[in-house]
Chain A
């Protein structure tokens, strides 16, 4: 009896202490639920990858320009998951491109798990005709990019990566890593801020909802807001909080901010559309109108809200185009229509064009349609706006 009793007690203490870990896990769990480009552009500390880069270069003299039969090319699009409109639209864009060239795209999702992503890449490279395989990949984090690129390089497959790349890795060091493209977060953060300030008449008070604070997307976008604030002395930033790119959290945080600042708030700047939609919901619940709200990503609901005049602005990276362009660049290289070695460094790693969506042009983005001409081999670098800084 006593023994049993004691066992039970120690069980309790174990339980009590395991709470510490649990609580931290809960408080600190940066949600993997954020749904779009900012999750895509998760920042990992730049890995120590420079030496590896130089080591890999000689391996690839096999086929600097591809000579695949166009009907034998294997197109593969890989993103985290299909649980959000952005990545689903990305893969749909890939499907549309594949159809355009008479092929089908293999859709891969890895649920945000780096190991699973690597495993999938290894598998497709091992089972198919690697030299005619084209990969359009969204790496899970910066540190995942290099292993993917090396695997493709060693197998002779063609790869285009998007969003995540360690800053110190040079794409031209690899002749089968055709391009890396990403977007200028500072510029998008600034653009939506300026659209919002214009609607507010250049004066008033705003609050900001930041993303997951240690991600590059959150930092860049907030830096863009700060730049816009510096140029607009009539606007005051009352408060900045984080809502982790999550709609649910943005709702709660906005409600609290409305309690804190009441009617002083004229605008809410958010680092993504999910948070903007959460903020809109909080404004609705509080019965407040006339507050400018802006976000980034152009998720369909947000574009609709912009079109309806409920939201001021959002920025689109054009998911369907992203899903297609990586395949198009790879297809052109694999079939020999694009000579990778002769591409300018700017086309190997670039910021792609993004689009500010306001009430004026929202209708054009409600049903995004890709222009097949964008994916002709002569046009695949049409949206290059400059080197990655």
Chain B
């Protein structure tokens, strides 16, 4: 009785309703994205310009990287609320390590690598507390987020460091094939994330842990180290995202992590990565990121009043999720 057979059990031809449900779950969000793009393109001539396509992808870049990281944690069925705090600490770190207005350090790309490693270290901390002390991931990562904010506040110490490192600043402005370096970096992250999920033991075990940890453990896998590694991997993505935000904003700010934790979880779930774990993945989540970003961009372009935009955004997200859950509803006997 392996995980594999449980998964395939849901896809046998004998249960067409379930198969259809899976299909909608896998491709529904993508269809919703296409529909959104089509509607906005019809209504707004500005929406269907090349420069707006660039703009949407540029705006999606940071969220995409955070979401790739968080997706691995969600696949395990855990949750990670640390992105905001980890990004704050890494944003301040990277801005103090590259050429800046506060100190004379000028580590260039090594500074960015150090910030990514710092993110990984925060993830490692979350993972260890979660696995070794068995504190629920919700509480663990909330605590680590607070530590991150604390570290960032100490590093900030009242004076904002502005970046003068041209190469880091260039991430947000230099264009390759029409897209900023940052957007291309985000695309690489998505592809790398997908490859990790698909082709490495770490990625496959993450899904398997979410699908049924006991089964995996019974088949002789020591799941602990993989769980820790997943949190560390997510932390690395947050570290990179922090460097990207810092490049965009031109200075290291404690608020760099902003709302990214919840925006990323929302994007992942809208894209079809379930909070219960085991289902979805990096590509699903990325579709979710694009849905959220296109929605924010399109509503401004078609001239929806700012006073109702947020309500409309929420409504569309709820409708999209409701539609995706519709075929599944008969399988769920109890909803809490």
Where the two chains meet, the residues of A that have a C-beta atom closer than 8 Å to any C-beta of B are 1, 4-6, 8-20, 22-29, 31, 33-35, 81-85, 88-89, 92, 210, 213, 239-242, 246-249, 251-253, 255-257, 259-260, 277-278, 281, 284-285, 299-301
In this complex, what residue of A is CB-closest to B158? Answer: A88
Q: Is the CB of B16 closer than 8 A to any CB of chain A?
A: no
Q: How many angstroms between the C-alpha atoms of A26 and B317 in the bound complex?
A: 11
Please tell me if B133 contacts chain A, counting CB pairs below 8 Å. Answer: no
Q: How far apart are the CA atoms of A28 and B313 in the complex, in Å? A: 9
The answer to the question of B138 belonging to the interface, with a C-beta cut-off of 8 Å to chain A, is no
Instruction: Provide the bound-state CA to CA distance between A82 and B153, in Å.
Output: 7
Q: Given A10-B334, A12-B279, A281-B172, list of 11 further CB < 8 A pairs?
A: A12-B328, A14-B336, A26-B259, A26-B266, A83-B149, A83-B153, A85-B158, A210-B306, A213-B306, A251-B248, A300-B159
Q: Which residues of B contact A210 (CB under 8 A)?
A: 306
A247→B211 contact, CB < 8 A:
no
Q: Which residues of A contact B254 (CB under 8 A)?
A: 83-84
- Pairwise interchain contact B156-A83, C-beta atoms closer than 8 A: yes
Cβ of B176 < 8 Å from any Cβ of A?
no
User: Which of B111-119, B124-132, B229-237, B295-303 contacts the other chain?
Assistant: B295-303
Report the minimum CB–CB distance from A14 to chain B (whole Å).
6
| Also in contact, A277 and B249, with CB within 8 A (given A246-B258, A247-B255) | yes
Contact at A27–B153, with CB atoms within 8 Å? no
Contact B250 A241 (CB under 8 A): no
How far does the Cβ of B88 sit from chain A's closest Cβ, in whole Å?
8
Contacts of B46 in A (CB 8 A): 259-260
Residues of B within 8 A of A85 (CB): 158-160
Inter-chain contacts of B153 with A (CB < 8 A): 81-83
Q: Is the CB of B328 within 8 A of A13?
A: yes
The answer to the question of B143 belonging to the interface, with a C-beta cut-off of 8 Å to chain A, is no
Q: Please determine whether B265 and A92 come into contact, CB atoms closer than 8 angstroms.
A: no
Give the chain B neighbours of A8 by CB distance below 8 A.
6, 211-212, 276, 278
List, in ascending order, chain A residues with CB within 8 A of B162's CB. Answer: 301
Q: Which of A5, A11, A19, A257 has the most CB of B within 10 A?
A: A19
- Residues of A within 8 Å of B200, CB to CB, are none
Which of B52-60, B191-199, B220-228 interfaces with chain A? B52-60
Contact between chains at B49 and A22 (CB < 8 Å):
no
- Among the listed B297, B300, B309, B332, which residue makes an inter-chain contact with A9, where contact means beta carbons less than 8 Å apart? B332
Q: How far is the CA of A256 from the CA of B55 in the complex (A)?
A: 7
A27 to B310, Cβ gap below 8 A? yes
Nearest chain A CB to B289 CB, angstrom units: 12
Contact between chains at A259 and B55 (CB < 8 Å): yes
A299 vs B296: C-alpha distance in the bound complex, in angstroms?
A: 28
Q: Given contacts A29-B262, A213-B306, A259-B52, are A16 and B274 in contact (CB under 8 A)?
A: yes
Q: Which residues of chain A have C-beta atoms less than 8 A from B266's C-beta? A: 19, 22-23, 26-27
How far, in angstroms, from A6 to B318 measured CA to CA in the complex?
Answer: 25
Q: Does B208 contact A (CB under 8 A)?
A: no
CA distance A14 to B334 in the complex (A): 9
**Closest B residue, CB atoms, query A214:** B307
**What's the nearest-Cβ distance from chain A to residue B52, in Å?**
5
Please tell me if the beta carbons of A248 and B245 are within 8 angstroms of each other in the complex: yes
Interface membership of B275, Cβ < 8 A? yes
B59 touches A255 (CB 8 A): yes
Set A26, A34, A83, A281: member contacting B263, Cβ < 8 A: A26
Q: Are A23 and B321 in contact (CB under 8 A)?
A: yes
Closest to B59 in A: A252
**Contact: B321 with A19, CB < 8 Å?**
yes
Q: How far is the CB of B238 from chain A (nearest CB, A)?
A: 15
Pairs A–B under 8 Å by Cβ, sample size 9:
A8-B278, A10-B333, A12-B328, A20-B318, A24-B318, A33-B258, A239-B300, A248-B256, A248-B258
Residue in A9, A81, A248 whose beta carbon sits within 8 Å of that of B248 in the complex = A248
> Are B173 and A284 neighbours in the complex by a CB distance under 8 Å?
yes
User: Nearest Cβ in chain A — how far from B42, in angstroms?
Assistant: 16
Whole-angstrom distance between the Cβ of B287 and the nearest chain A Cβ: 15
B314 at the interface (CB under 8 A from A): yes
A84-B158 Cα distance, complex, nearest whole Å: 7
Closest-CB distance, B97 to chain A (whole angstroms):
19
Contact B173 A285 (CB under 8 A): yes
Residue of A nearest to B321 (CB): A19
- B332 near A13 with CB under 8 A, answer yes
C-alpha spacing A15/B58, complex, angstroms: 30
